Amino acid sequence: MVIAGRTVACGVSLAVLAVSGFAWYTVNDLNGVTRSHALDEAKKNAPKHLDKSINLLLIGLDSRKDMDGNDLPKEFVQDELHAGSSEIGGYNTNSLIVLHIPPSGKVQAVSIPRDDWVQTYGADGKMHKIKEAYGYAKDAAEQKLRAKGVKGADLEHQSREAGRSATIQTVQKLLDIPIDHFAEVNLLGFYDIAKAVQPITVCLNKPVNDPIVSRVTDSKGNVIRPGGGTGLQLPAGESQLDAAQALSFVRQRHNLTNGDLDRTHRQQAFIASVEYKLKQQGVMDDLGKMQSLLDVVKKDVVIDDDWQILDFAQQAPNLTGGNVEFNTLPIDKFANIGGQEVNQVDPGKLRRIVKQLFGQAAADPAPAPAATTGAPDAAPPANAADTTVDVLNGSPVTGAAADESKALTALGYRAGKATNSDTRPKTTTVKYGAGAKDAAQQIATRYGATATASTAVLAGHVQITLGTEYTAPGGTPTAGADPNPAATLQMQGPPVKAGGVPCVD
Number of helical H runs and strand E runs in the chain: 12, 24
Residues 134 and 170 both lie in one domain: yes
CATH number of the structural domain spanning residue 419: 3.30.70
Task: Report the domain count for the chain.
Answer: 2
Asked whether residue 434 is assigned to any structural domain, the reply reads yes
User: pLDDT tens digits, the chain, 505 residues: what are they?
Assistant: 222 223 333 333 334 444 333 334 434 445 567 889 999 999 998 988 867 788 999 998 877 777 777 777 766 666 665 554 445 557 888 889 998 988 777 788 999 999 999 999 876 778 999 999 999 999 999 999 999 999 999 999 999 999 999 999 999 999 999 999 998 887 777 777 778 788 989 999 999 988 877 665 667 666 555 566 778 899 999 999 988 888 888 878 788 778 778 888 888 888 888 878 877 877 666 666 666 676 766 777 888 988 765 455 455 555 655 678 899 999 988 888 888 899 999 888 899 889 888 874 433 333 333 322 222 233 455 567 789 999 999 988 888 898 889 888 877 789 999 999 988 888 899 999 999 988 888 788 777 778 899 999 999 999 999 988 776 654 333 333 344 444 446 788 888 887 889 898 8
Residues 69 and 93 both lie in one domain: yes
* Helices (H), ranges, 21-89: 39-44, 74
Residues 356 and 409 both lie in one domain: no
Residues 329 and 381 both lie in one domain: no
Total residues belonging to the chain: 505
| Domain membership of residue 175 as a residue range | 9-194+287-362+491-499
Asked whether residue 73 is assigned to any structural domain, the reply reads yes
E strands, 191-339, where? 200-204, 208-210, 216-217, 223-225, 232-234, 237-241, 301-304, 324-328, 333-337
Identify any residues that bridge with 390 across adjacent strands, giving them in sequence order: 463
Residue 195 and residue 248: Cα distance in Å, rounded?
Answer: 13
| 0.75 surpassed by pTM | no
Residues 80 and 185 both lie in one domain: yes
E strands, 130-255, where? 181-185, 200-204, 208-210, 216-217, 223-225, 232-234, 237-241
The SS3 assignment for 383 reads coil
CATH number of the structural domain spanning residue 145: 3.30.420.590
Closest C-alpha among 359, 354, 396, 352 to residue 473: 359
E strands, 156-231, where? 181-185, 200-204, 208-210, 216-217, 223-225
The SS3 assignment for 414 reads strand
Residues 446 and 309 both lie in one domain: no
Query: In which region does residue 77 sit, left (phi positive, over 0), alpha (psi from -120 to 50) or beta (all else)?
Result: alpha
Asked whether residue 438 is assigned to any structural domain, the reply reads yes
- Would you say 493 and 265 are in contact if contact means Cβ atoms under 8 Å apart? yes
